[in-house]
Structure 1
Amino acid sequence: MLKNMEEVKSKITFDFVSRTLKFCAVGLFIPGFSAILLFGIQMALTKLGIECTDAWKLIWFITWVGMLLTPTFFIKYLKSENWRERRLLSRKLILFNSLEYIFIQASFGSLMSNSETLCYGSGGQNGLELGFSAWLSLPILLAFSFAFNNIWKSKE
């Protein structure tokens, strides 16, 4: 019977897109919170003795690397045999979406602003571009979810 239960679990479909759409609905309202998190990280790095502009450059480097590696690791996870537990997969997807959302937000923010502006302000910019870049991450997360659905279906 246990073997049959495992077979049933493995046959359960998992829709990445619908779950990511729910995350995106929330993501429309949280870009300010994640921007505050990024500013908090910058302030913590500054307290550790890293100059503000260098702190932003470090944050951007880490987020660009994270933005590129996180999907790679998640796809590797999906292709492994550890993904059959539906609840665990749901948690991993939430973690992926959250990390990738912040990584894309910060990385794209680096294209819209610079560390001098974020640290010392000029031209009326005050970090608002981080909010806009977070919204840009939502369609990218959906595109990843379509790809994850295809990977999931190919494993079944």
Structure 2
Amino acid sequence: MKYKYNYIKSTMIFCVIGFIIPGFTAILLFGTQLILQRLGVECTITWKALWVLSWIGMLLLPVLFYKSLKKKETESYEKLKTNLIFFNFLEYIFMQTALSIFFTKANTLCYVSDGQNGIELVFTAWLSLPVLMIFSYIFEYHTETTISSDK
């Protein structure tokens, strides 16, 4: 028996988790910045590089994932579930980072300690959640990938 994978339901579950974890992913981003700073990369350059890479990833990942789904007619349940989790998590972090450029500057993230350092990353992570739901809607209603009942 074959049936369509429920992308919307799976992403809705991720969104509940995504509402709780933006601080952890922000810490991951600041950790990346600190590691690169220890390796000799200046802080503002690190953030500018993270923004560029995140914009590329944010724009490219949905296209690649969609093309991957369009190529496959049948996929195992576990593989689709795992791929969607990775897609949602990576796109969440890419959007969290890329959208923060509209709310802060590299100098602020690196050198200003006004008590709000990085809080923008929490809000931009939350902004990414509706976008993930839109992508899931597209995946659900515009792809023909089905899953087989054998897991």
TM-score of the two chains, using structure 1 as the length reference: 0.89
1:77 and 1:83 in contact (8 A); partners too? no
The correspondence for 2:16, drawn from 25, 41, 60, is 25
Q: Percent identity?
A: 47
The correspondence for 2:6, drawn from 11, 15, 18, is 15
The correspondence for 2:41, drawn from 50, 53, 59, is 50
The correspondence for 1:79, drawn from 70, 80, 89, is 70
The correspondence for 1:148, drawn from 139, 143, 148, is 139
1:14-58 per-residue CA deviation (whole Å, 9 max, x = no partner) reads 110000000000011000000000001111111111100000000
The structure number with the bigger radius of gyration is 1
Q: Which residue of 2 aligns with 1:132?
A: 123
Greater relative contact order (Cα < 8 A, sep 6+): 2
1:108 and 1:133 in contact (8 A); partners too? yes
Moved over 6 A (4+): none
2:5 and 2:145 in contact (8 A); partners too? no
SS at match of 2:20: coil
1:47-70 per-residue CA deviation (whole Å, 9 max, x = no partner) reads 111100000000111101000011
Q: Which residue of 2 aligns with 1:4?
A: none
Q: 2:116 and 2:108 mapped to 1: Cα distance?
A: 7
Q: Which residue of 2 aligns with 1:118?
A: 109
The worse-fitting range, judged by mean Cα deviation, of 123-132 and 87-96 is 123-132
Structure 1: gaps of 5 or more residues: 1-7
TM-score of the two chains, using structure 2 as the length reference: 0.91
Would you tell me which structure has more helix in proportion to its own residues? 1
Structure 2: gaps of 5 or more residues: 147-151
Q: Which residue of 1 aligns with 2:56?
A: 65
RMSD: 1.5
Q: 1:146 and 1:118 mapped to 2: Cα distance?
A: 34
1:118 and 1:127 in contact (8 A); partners too? yes
SS at match of 1:42: helix
Q: 1:19 and 1:110 mapped to 2: Cα distance?
A: 29
Q: CA deviation at 1:151?
A: 2.3
SS at match of 1:28: helix
1:117 and 1:125 in contact (8 A); partners too? no
